[in-house]
Amino acid sequence: MNNHLMRAFVLTAPGKYAVQEVPAPVAAPGEAVVDVERVGVCGTDMEFFTGAMAYLHQGHSSYPMRLGHEWCGRVVSVGDGVDPVWVGRRVMGDTMLGCGVCRRCRRGHQHVCEKRQELGIRGERPGALAEQLAVPVSSLHVLPDSVDAVLGALVEPGGNALRAARAAAARPGDRALVLGPGTIGLLVAMFLRAAGTEVHLMGRADNSPAFARELGFAHVWTEDSVPDLPFDAVVDASNAVRLPALALETVEPGGRVVYVGLAGGPSRIDTRTLALKDVTAVGILSASPGLDDTIRAYADGSVDPGPLVAAVVGLDEVGPVLAGERPVGAGPGPKIHVDPRTG
């Protein structure tokens, strides 16, 4: 019996939370227990905080729950059937945990498995906003020394962005427009830039355009200032209901639109426009197929997302962050990280 306790952030109802002492995890067969070093807070976590997340209403998730799916840490123990060589390794983990036996999983599409668990999101698999975390060892990806805790906790959102950038199929010299310069949008822009694409970003007239320029993106616009240029690809990384249609209207005939952002309500496009412009549209869910290549891009420095992190807080400060408060002294970046080892 495990008598060891640890601290964890527990969301008990919309807007209700507590940092609790809970039983520390014990590695089941096929699992590893990880000391969590860093966790990213994302928009999905905020939707659970407000109660708006669709999974709550579809029966896939319920309170109380432990959030946190963008994480990294170090393996401290393993269960039966796991090679002990894993102990001591620095790792991050795939959020999507498929059943492993269905047709989709057998075809390598575990991230869309009908019975999947999503760490800290779906299926009652506790998330990483805790001092320790238990995960299937099959979901782990090893981090090299050059990928520190900040970068390690950015691999998961980076995998989504890498897949979106690749789906844009932009070649060197092509021009791409990214809608929504939040964490995912800026990561998409970084991967596109690394591939030699001329990158344009469109955001609201707040501090986002200024921060994007600080990251070296010269072509940053608001909706009413986007130049009349041919965009070979448009990536919608926003949460605005109307922008998927704008992406389709804006892209060049024969180009590609990529949808990686999710709006709070149905977002609609006119498929007549899609067909008459001979446009390819791609939807992106999950970082799973892009995790290893994201780690390599961070390790070799071709993409450096570190400046996106505005602040690192402790578990006691997670609630206000989920409520939309910026930590005191936070920088201009869109991402807040949590170190569960601190207060």
- pLDDT tens for 224-242 read 999 999 999 999 999 999 9
pLDDT of 8-36, one tens digit each? 999 999 999 999 999 999 999 999 999 99
Q: Model confidence at 86, in pLDDT bands (50, 70, 90)?
A: very high
Q: Please state the domain extents for the chain.
A: 5-154+305-338, 161-283
Superfamily of domain 5-154+305-338: Medium-chain alcohol dehydrogenases, catalytic domain (3.90.180.10)
* Alpha-carbon span 234 to 180, nearest angstrom: 11
Cα–Cα distance between 219 and 36 in angstroms, integer? 38
**Residue 5 and residue 21 in contact, taking contact as beta carbons nearer than 8 Å:** yes
Q: What is the pLDDT of residue 74?
A: 98
Q: Average the pLDDT over 310-315 and give the result.
A: 97
Residue 210: per-residue pLDDT: 85
Q: What digits encode the pLDDT tens for the residues 158-185?
A: 999 999 999 999 999 999 999 999 999 9
Name the helix (H) or strand (E) containing 274: helix 271-276
Cβ atoms of residues 303 and 297 within 8 Å: yes
Tokens matching residue 302: 């071709």
Dump strand ranges (E) for the chain: 5-13, 16-23, 31-41, 70-78, 90-93, 96-97, 117-118, 132-136, 140-142, 175-179, 198-202, 219-221, 231-236, 251-259, 280-283, 309-313, 335-338
Enumerate residues 6+ apart whose C-beta is below 8 A from 142: 89, 90, 91
Mention every residue, 6+ apart, whose C-beta is less than 8 A from residue 224.
Answer: none
Peptide bond just before 305 cis, omega within 30 deg: no
- CA 220 to chain CA mean position, Å: 23
Question: How far apart, in whole angstroms, are the C-alpha atoms of residue 22 and residue 16?
Answer: 17
> Residue 1: pLDDT above 60?
no
Distance between CA atoms of 326 and 207, rounded to whole angstroms? 14
- What is the C-alpha separation between 74 and 135, in angstroms, rounded? 12
Per-residue model confidence as pLDDT tens digits over 244-269: 999 999 999 999 999 999 988 899 99
Residue 98 predicted with pLDDT over 90? yes
CA–CA dist 278, 230 (Å, integer): 15
Q: What token pair was written down for 137?
A: 């060892």
Q: What is the CA radius of gyration of the chain?
A: 20
CA distance 154 to 292: 13
Over the chain, what is the mean pLDDT?
95
Question: What are the structure tokens assigned to 339, written together?
Answer: 């170190």
pLDDT digits (tens, 9 = 90+) for 37-74: 999 999 999 999 999 998 999 999 999 999 999 999 99
Residue 3 has pLDDT above 70, yes or no: no
Q: Note the residue count of the chain.
A: 343
Q: In this model, does residue 343 exceed pLDDT 80?
A: no
CA dist 274 → 227, 233, 282 (Å): 22, 13, 12
* CATH tag, 161-283: 3.40.50.720
pLDDT value of residue 274 = 97
Query: d(Cα 240, Cα 252) in Å, to the nearest integer?
Result: 21
Q: What is the pTM of this model?
A: 0.95
Mean pLDDT of 211-216: 94
